[in-house]
Amino acid sequence: MKAIVTAMIASLHAMPDKASELVDEVLYGMTVEIIRDVNEDWVSIQTAYRYEGYCQKADLLQEEALAFTWQQDAQYVVCQSFADVLQQPRIQSTKLLTLVRGSSIRVMSDDAVPEEWSAVQLVAGQIGYVRTKWLQPKITVQSLSEQQFRENVVDTALSYLTAPYRWGGKSPLGIDCSGLCSMAYMLNGVYIYRDARIVEGFPIVNIEQARMQKGDLIYFPGHIALYMGDDLYVHSSLGGNEVTINSLDAKHPLYRQDLATTILTVGTLYNSQKTS
């Protein structure tokens, strides 16, 4: 059975217990697959990017037909760090809820709404209003050129700069290293593996470090970063407490020796670079 996330952020835990490890976060409007019913409060779920964990039922709307329709119709995502959904298209209006970057929403056609506002439908059916510039169409099919994709994925990662580090996090409220990289790719239409390693069945392949380009992924022991070019990379660092930029160049003031000297591999989306 499919379900839709109705909480601003639904926590995905390692066990059906709020005190267990936070392994991921699933954002409002995302659809998930219910694997099994655990008890009256918890279900085991799988996300669209094939990550599994335990979620509280209170954060989900479990209705197969509605989830299917929502998946087809909710073709916009929030691109601002946070976006309030208001009852009326004016800033003085009452807030219905707040969404974070990456949340899915359905945009409704309404010629009576000023162009700086968009009418949106929430999962439960209510109509609200969001600033138009805070929404962008979902990229569901990779139609960008390689160069444009590389630029976009770096820009998306940089939009999380200074977001605090949160183990298992995936929003501007708190994000971990693999959460940052997976969201940067997801918001540009590509699902990669949620954790800091290359997994068969996902589109990232190994390349030599010498062939690394902007937008490729750098893998360290238990850590992942996104390469920006010019020996710079952006990552969510437990050591740095937030999303930050560092350098692979030993002469650069942002150099981190502990990372620069422990690179395991580099991953790319583009098979043309795949080495034998």
Q: What is the pLDDT of residues 162-201, one digit of tens each?
A: 999 999 999 999 999 999 999 999 999 999 999 999 999 9
Closest to 237 (Cα-Cα) out of 222, 249, 227: 222
pTM of the model: 0.94
Per-residue pLDDT for 227 more than 70? yes
158-172 residue pLDDT tens: 999 999 999 999 999
Active site residue 13: no
What tokens appear for 64 in the block?
């197969």
Do residues 235 and 182 lie in contact, with contact meaning Cβ atoms separated by under 8 Å? no
Determine if residue 86 is left, alpha or beta; phi over 0 gives left, psi from -120 to 50 gives alpha, anything else beta.
Answer: beta
Per-residue pLDDT for 150 more than 70? yes
84-120 residue pLDDT tens: 999 999 999 999 999 999 999 999 998 899 999 999 9
Contacts 24+ apart (CB under 8 A), 60-67: 60/3, 60/4, 60/5, 60/6, 60/10, 60/32, 61/3, 61/4, 61/6, 61/123, 61/124, 62/1, 62/3, 62/34, 63/3, 63/4, 64/1, 64/2, 66/4, 66/123, 67/2, 67/3, 67/4, 67/31
Which residue of the set 13, 55, 181, 223 is catalytic? 223
30-72 residue pLDDT tens: 999 999 999 999 999 999 999 999 999 999 999 999 999 999 9
CA dist., res. 225 & res. 217, Å (int) = 6
Which residue of the set 13, 55, 181, 235 is catalytic? 235
Active site residue 223: yes
Per-residue pLDDT for 276 more than 60? no
**Mean pLDDT of all residues belonging to the chain:** 95
Which residue of the set 13, 55, 177, 181 is catalytic? 177
Per-residue pLDDT for 240 more than 90? no
Closest to 74 (Cα-Cα) out of 37, 111, 27: 27
Active site residue 252: no
Q: Can you say whether the dihedral through the CA atoms of 54, 170, 148, 216 is positive or negative?
A: negative
CB atoms under 10 Å from CB of 168, counted, come to: 20
- pLDDT value of residue 272: 59
